[in-house]
Chain A
């Protein structure tokens, strides 16, 4: 026994992030990686199915449009947006651009990222046949 009896603040190893809202937000964007992983697996299986022929591909499409498939993709979409917004928010901290004497303001860098996001999204949508 330690005769000093130091005070050790009790912190749960498994649910410490529930104690503060900013920790919850941190956990929310870290957990987005789980959905990235599952979505990647679904897409890789889709490519395997595409290589196996028309019936296999249709089977994959049926699975994607099943209720469970739709619910998963809706949740994954929300987490993808959480990933994007939190990633962009961190960009000015990771990337400092200096122009002459001035440091380019973070808002401008983040804004440019949203511009590229819009352009990339539009490009993919046009590629898929909308617009």
Chain B
């Protein structure tokens, strides 16, 4: 049977879509909307956050979510580019998967340094 490399980005897209559908709304609320409302000021303080993200389990979970988010978005945006009439699929794929790689690597480095 012919093997296709499509399975890899598609798996990351599907796994990412599933994980994000559960976690993304509450995450955007917690880190993006709550601070403006004056909520979770203790949890989002420097000391609490560094201690929280300093935990290896938290690092692992955050890395998993961010990696899946990057690759899910990259793959879906590649399809979007096609839907918007951009037919240079190879260039689009290189740029988007490249950005996803940069995002994954930056997240890994940042998490290791905390």
Whether chains A and B associate is yes
Cα distance, A42 to B106, chains bound together (Å)? 12
Which single residue of chain B is at the shortest CB-CB distance from A51? B113
Flag if B31 contacts A124 (CB, 8 Å): no
A59: min CB distance to chain B, Å = 11
Pick the residue among B22, B29, B66 that contacts A40 (CB under 8 A). B66
* Contact residues in A for B77 (Cβ distance below 8 Å): 33-34, 37
Flag if B69 contacts A36 (CB, 8 Å): yes
Interface 1/0 per residue, B10-49 and A, CB below 8 Å: 0000000110111111111111111110011011101001
Give the number of residues in B that approach A within 8 Å (Cβ atoms): 51
Flag if B111 contacts A84 (CB, 8 Å): no
Flag if A73 contacts B33 (CB, 8 Å): yes
* Contact residues in B for A97 (Cβ distance below 8 Å): none
Flag if B17 contacts A31 (CB, 8 Å): no
Pick the residue among B26, B44, B46, B62 that contacts A124 (CB under 8 A). B26
Flag if B114 contacts A129 (CB, 8 Å): no
Interface 1/0 per residue, A87-131 and B, CB below 8 Å: 110000000000000000000000001001100110011011110
* Contact residues in B for A130 (Cβ distance below 8 Å): 39-40
* Contact residues in A for B53 (Cβ distance below 8 Å): 47, 50
Pick the residue among B21, B35, B114 that contacts A84 (CB under 8 A). B21
Flag if A83 contacts B83 (CB, 8 Å): no
| Apart from the given pairs A31-B80, A43-B66, A84-B24, 8 other A-B contacts in the complex at a CB distance below 8 Å | A30-B76, A39-B24, A47-B111, A70-B33, A80-B20, A113-B21, A117-B25, A128-B34
30 contacts between A and B (CB under 8 A): A33-B76, A33-B80, A34-B77, A34-B80, A36-B69, A36-B72, A36-B76, A37-B70, A37-B99, A39-B24, A40-B103, A43-B31, A44-B106, A50-B114, A57-B49, A58-B46, A64-B35, A69-B32, A70-B36, A73-B33, A77-B25, A80-B20, A83-B24, A84-B20, A84-B21, A117-B21, A117-B25, A120-B26, A124-B23, A124-B26
Residues on A lying within 8 angstroms of B by beta carbon are 12-14, 17, 27, 30-31, 33-34, 36-37, 39-44, 46-48, 50-51, 53-54, 57-58, 61, 64-65, 69-70, 72-74, 76-77, 80-81, 83-84, 87-88, 113, 116-117, 120-121, 124-125, 127-130
Q: Which are the 4 A-B pairs with shortest beta-carbon distances?
A: A73-B32, A13-B85, A33-B76, A37-B73
